[in-house]
Structure 1
Amino acid sequence: MDIPLTSDALDIAFHPDPTTTIIAAGLLSGKVQLIDYSSTPTSPANFKKTLTLRPSIKSTRALAFADNATLYTASKDRSLFAIDTHTGVIRSHWANTHAAPPSRMITLDSGMLVTGDDDGAVKLWDPRLPTTSASTSSSSEGPAAKKTKLSGAGSTNVVQPTTATPVRTYTHHFDWISDLLWCNHVAPPRSAQSKGKKKAAEQDNDDAAITLRSRLVCTSGDGTLSVIDFRQGGSGGAKTEGEGKKVGSVKGVEVSEDQEDELLAVAAVKGGSKFVVGTQLGTLSVWAPTRAMLDHVDRIPGHPASVDTLCPLYDPSSTLDNDVVSRFAQDDDVLLTGSSDGLIRILHIGPPHTLLGVLADHGGNGMPVERIRRKGRWVASIGHESAIKWSDLADLLDGDSGDEDEEEEEGTKKKMKMRAMGKDDSDDDDDDEEEDESDEDDDSPGEPVSKPDEDDDSDSDSDSDGPSAPRAEAPKTKAAQLSKGIAKGALLAPPTAASSGWDDDEDDERSNKRGKKGGVKKEMKGQDQANAKRAERAAFFSDL
């Protein structure tokens, strides 16, 4: 289901209050819209736009809720705005906050604000600090406005722009900040340069000792990941320069080695002990702070295009204890990934790493998934379109819909499965023909059909053609819970993959399908053919 908007959405954010059903959208036109989804969303008419403001004539590129009443927005003209969501009044307007347009924004538990811009600068702001009157100096975006007139709820709000001083400024990145992640109770990253100093500090009970505390994780288009500890980064409003210095030379900052690929998104898994990063080439990289952050420790291939956004399926703020989703979503090892091919995939971070299915499709054809946000049972996502795609997580775990046997729906599921595995629809035509021939041979009169071996680890409930056999106990793990729901027909999942990824060889996939459909006899036949090919290959190379 799509929520129509007046222009393309660049960022979205759910209201932090678990009982408040509001989502905010920042638009390309500069408008900020608040949408109420309190009515059960069954059609676009159920969504009500409660507030529409236009803080700037330039696009609203990022936004974030600070508390139950304040929404911060960042515009392309380098301005930051604080909006009272209850009254629709603009509380403050900070002008010329960055040298380049802001690209990302998050709020911290303390009420402070972090922004990143297109030049790689990261700044920490404290809204409680006093501001000064802003000058009308010119910039690449034009002269700063002397006054900002905003209309909403039938009244006009005039805001005087002011200048705020950041608490911290970091410039160790030289390209745009693609994502920001605030992590609580994270161990400091270890590097070869600073390992000895930190060990000595730990023995001396110094503040630089290895302790679990909050840190900021940044990803950048320059191909590096950094971890910032605000408690060690300079004093007052002093600027901490990092560009041009060696890795680890900036106090309170650890920067990874160059990954030779744009890092686009980051999310924490396994209780914050690991980070998953999306890249331009489509490979997910896994980072472990306790094992050094200078480079990744694992890679997860499989996405055929860039991974632009990540969203943990686990929502610690959810209080919907009676909801079906809350019983299964208390596991932060499951991620929603948004790719430039338009699909939102569900991935379990292992090992083994497993693709569980596809949640939504933005249509492909150059329609990427730029942002994914989750609250309770609802998932909102945006791309290059004037709409918010609305998905229900309950569909993952619901039973049969009654329509899954229809030919049209089966065809849609099949196409989505092939796209999720990075293949064209035509790639599976030959498989279907061979499978049909296999079914005719194995289901001939007088020939009993053997069941697949129960000890085969490659078998999956989601791949079985018939109804699943009842289980004595419900699955205990999150991945098993989702796999069970997908097997019931809510989603179409590819075969369970090995830890290296799920984009398996086409020949291996065809062999697996034959084995599952044709039983033990067909599986043995396939094994004999494989052994024969190996023997021919060995003989060929022995003659060289």
Structure 2
Amino acid sequence: MTMKFKDFDRDTSDESEMEEDFDSDSDEDDVENTDTPDNETTKEEQNNEDDDDEDDDDEVIKAIKAEKNKPRDHPPNIICDDAIVDICFHPANDLIAIANMVGDILLYEYNNNETVLKETIEVHTKACRDVEFDDEGTTMYSTGKDKTIVATDVQTGKLKQCYNDAHEEPVYTLVSLDDNKIVTGDDAGTVKLWDIRKKDSIFTIKVGEDYISDMLTNEAQKYLVCAGGDGTITSIDLKGNKIYTRSEQYDAEFTCMGLFRSETKLLAASATGRLYLFNWKEFGYHSDEYIGQKKISVQCMVPITQNIVVTSGEDGILRAAHMFPQRQLGVVGQHSMPVERLDISHDGTYIASCSHNNDVKFWNITYFESIDTLINVNEKQDKKKDMSNNLPSSNYKNSSDFFSGLV
């Protein structure tokens, strides 16, 4: 079976090496180190000045530079004792759920000054792989390696429903639907639809032979799209209880998905770093293809606007890209270890990310509002430079920002 991130066994042998690359999470170390004397003009300095001159005509770069002067408040990091597998923001309140490898869910309240642990719910006997809130935020759903599906009342913490041995194989992912319904997918490619008011599942469909890495639906909730570890995209007709389409098999497993352009475009990421764009309801073959970070697995993504996506994965770096037209925007933030999951807060102010370093970080991403409308397909772009450009939320500054302060 394909190796999956959510079953990671922490190997700390490479941790020290990775920490050399990103060894600071504090704002005090924002500036990159340099041995350049203040009174010398170097070739790198000159190159950065030349880059700045070229950027003067780029409205996107101008907007990013303007946003860097604004305060970027965000909640402090959360450090956990156990490995974190999933995170999920509450849909209405400043609350985030953290699922871990020992089967617990930690509920934290957050603001710009502190993060406070409100409750620890010991809900699963093995790793809790997925935690989700319903649309109203009254019910929290969770599932995991123990094959159990649990519905918990958010306000009281009491059990609303529990399905033991819900699947024959460990459950990997879960999606909350309307009217007390949820969908679950397991390690062997089986999908089940549940109504938590009923004793048994509504239907069961086998969509593949490998694990189901991600599932999503749109507002109409007629079709459910499943990304598979076997490299296929399968859609299910939820009204007809049958498979709607199945894509051709791709050369790597699909890891995560997102919806864009008023839910008319589906973006799917693969373990090779490639991003595939599908038209909604046309899941047989992609309409466009992008190369993200070469040979680095994109493990998670979160849509920020109708056009902008933030992705991350095994290199621990959160990157933003504009999809229509395609352009790399830069680095949103960094972890010293691979990133497991991303989510966006109910008000769109923060992204949260969790890594194999048992930490959750918050990134203030309100600056994207001023960038989204400025992308021009006809502008000259430098993809390599854009991919390494540190955005206002990043822990690090660009070298050009440092040199500009010396003149």
TM above 0.5, yes or no, is: yes
Structure 1 residue 13: deviation in Å? 0.9
CA distance in 2, matches of 1:345, 1:463: 13
User: Within 2, Cα distance between the matches of 1:339 and 1:120?
Assistant: 23
Give the structure 1 partner of residue 245 of structure 2: 254
Match of 2:278 in 1: 287
Whole-Å Cα distance in 1 between the matches of residues 361 and 344 of structure 2? 12
Residue 92 of structure 1 and its aligned partner are, at CA, apart by: 2.6
Find the counterpart in structure 2 of residue 75 from structure 1.
144
Q: Is the 8 A contact 1:303 1:339 kept in 2?
A: no
1:361 to 290, 309, 334: 334
Q: Tell me which protein shows more strand as a share of its residues.
A: 2
SS at match of 2:218: strand
Cα distance change of structure 1 residues 26 and 490 upon mapping to structure 2, 3 Å threshold: closer
The alpha carbon displacement at 1:457 in A equals 3.2
- With over 3 angstroms needed to count, the CA separation of the structure-2 counterparts of 1:217 and 1:492, relative to structure 1, is farther
SS of 1:272's partner is coil
Give the whole-Å Cα distance in 1 for the aligned partners of 2:115 and 2:394: 28
Deviation at 1:381, TM superposition (A): 0.8
Confirm or deny: 8 A CA contact 1:278 1:284 kept in the other structure: yes
Instruction: Please say if 1:228 is aligned against 2:303.
Output: no
C-alpha contact (below 8 Å) 1:278/1:308 kept by paired residues: yes
Report how far residue 492 of structure 1 moved.
Answer: 6.9
Q: 1:274 aligns with which of 248, 261, 265?
A: 265
The correspondence of residues 118-197 of structure 1 with structure 2, limited to 5 A, is 118-129=187-198, 131=199, 165-185=200-220
Other-structure match for 2:317: 343
1:58 corresponds to 2:126 = yes
Q: 2:226 aligns with which of 218, 221, 242?
A: 218
Please state how far the C-alpha of 1:6 moved relative to its aligned partner. 2.1
Alignment match, 2:366: 394
Aligned to 1:372: 342
Aligned CA distance change for structure 1 residues 267 and 9 (closer, same or farther; 3 Å): same
| Alignment counterpart, residue 30 of structure 1, candidates 94, 103, 108 | 103
CA change 1:493–1:298 in 2 (3 A) is: farther
Amino acid at match of 1:457: E
Report whether the alignment pairs 1:458 with 2:403: no
**Partner residue of 1:296 out of 286, 303, 315:** 286
Gaps of 5+ in 1: 132-164, 186-212, 234-250, 315-331, 399-455, 465-482, 495-544
Aligned length: 311
Moved over 6 A (4+): 487-494
Q: Which has the higher contact order (CA 8 A, sep 6+)?
A: 2
Percent identical residues: 28
**How many Å separate the matches in 2 of 1:48 and 1:459?**
43
Q: CA RMSD in A?
A: 2.8
Deviation for aligned residue 1:86: 1.1
Deviation at 1:90, TM superposition (A): 2.1
Provide the secondary structure at the position in 2 that maps to 1:109: coil
AA aligned opposite 1:13: C
Taking the aligned partners of 1:356 and 1:110, their CA distance within structure 2 comes to 39
Between the aligned partners of 2:283 and 2:265, the Cα distance in structure 1 is 10
User: For 2:315 and 2:381, how far apart are their aligned partners in 1?
Assistant: 28
Given residue 171 of structure 2, which amino acid in structure 1 is its aligned partner? P
CA distance in 1, matches of 2:223, 2:170: 24
Q: Is this contact kept in 2: 1:359–1:491, CA < 8 A?
A: no
Letter in 2 for 1:7: D
Contact residue 26 and residue 62 of structure 1 kept, 8 A? yes
Per-residue Cα deviation, 1:28-68 (whole angstroms, up to 9, x for no partner): 1111110001x324xxxx11000002112211111111232
Provide the C-alpha distance between the structure 2 equivalents of 1:295 and 1:345, rounded to a whole number of angstroms.
25
* 1:57-81 Cα distance to aligned partner (Å, 9 max, x none): 2111111112322111113111111
Q: In the alignment, what sits opposite 2:89?
A: 14
Match of 2:62 in 1: none
* Structure with the higher fraction of residues in helix conformation: 1
Pick aligned residue for 1:383 from 344, 355, 365: 355
- Residue 271 of structure 1 aligns with an amino acid whose one-letter code is S
- Alignment partners' CA distance in 1, 2:369 and 2:354: 24
Task: Output the CA distance in 2 between the equivalents of 1:222 and 1:340.
Answer: 19
Task: Give, in whole Å, the separation in 2 of the partners of 1:275 and 1:396.
Answer: 21
Asked if the contact 1:357/1:491 (under 8 Å) is kept, the reply is: no
Where 1:57 maps in the other structure, the secondary structure is coil
Question: Under a length normalisation based on structure 1, what TM-score does the superposition of the two structures give?
Answer: 0.54
Larger radius of gyration: 1
Alignment of 1:30-49 (within 5 A): 30-37=103-110, 39-41=111-113, 46-49=114-117
**How many angstroms apart in 2 are the aligned matches of 1:457 and 1:386?**
41
Contact 1:463 1:493 survives alignment (8 Å): no
When residues 228 and 463 of structure 1 are mapped into structure 2, their CA distance, relative to the original with a 3 A threshold, is closer
State the Cα deviation string for residues 236-273 of structure 1 (Å, max 9, x = none): xxxxxxxxxxxxxxx44211010121111111111111
In structure 2, what is the Cα distance between the partners aligned to 1:296 and 1:286? Answer: 5
What SS does the aligned partner of 2:262 have? helix
d(CA) in 1 for partners of 2:159, 2:391: 45
- Flag the 1:392–1:170 CA change in 2: closer, same or farther, 3 A: same
Q: Structure 2: which 5+ runs fail to align? A: 1-75, 371-377, 400-407
Match of 2:57 in 1: none
Amino acid at match of 1:26: A
* Matched-pair contact (CA < 8 Å) for 1:123–1:166: yes
Aligned residue in 2 for 1:93: 162
**Cα distance in structure 2, aligned partners of 1:254 and 1:53:** 38
Q: 1:6 to 1:222 in 2, by over 3 A?
A: same
For residues 486 and 359 of structure 1, do their structure 2 counterparts lie closer, same or farther at Cα, with a shift above 3 Å needed?
A: closer
What TM-score do the two structures reach when normalised by structure 2?
Answer: 0.71
| Deviation, structure 1 residue 349 | 0.4
How has the CA–CA distance of structure 1 residues 166 and 348 changed in structure 2, closer, same or farther, with 3 Å as cutoff?
same
By how many angstroms is 1:489 displaced?
Answer: 9.8
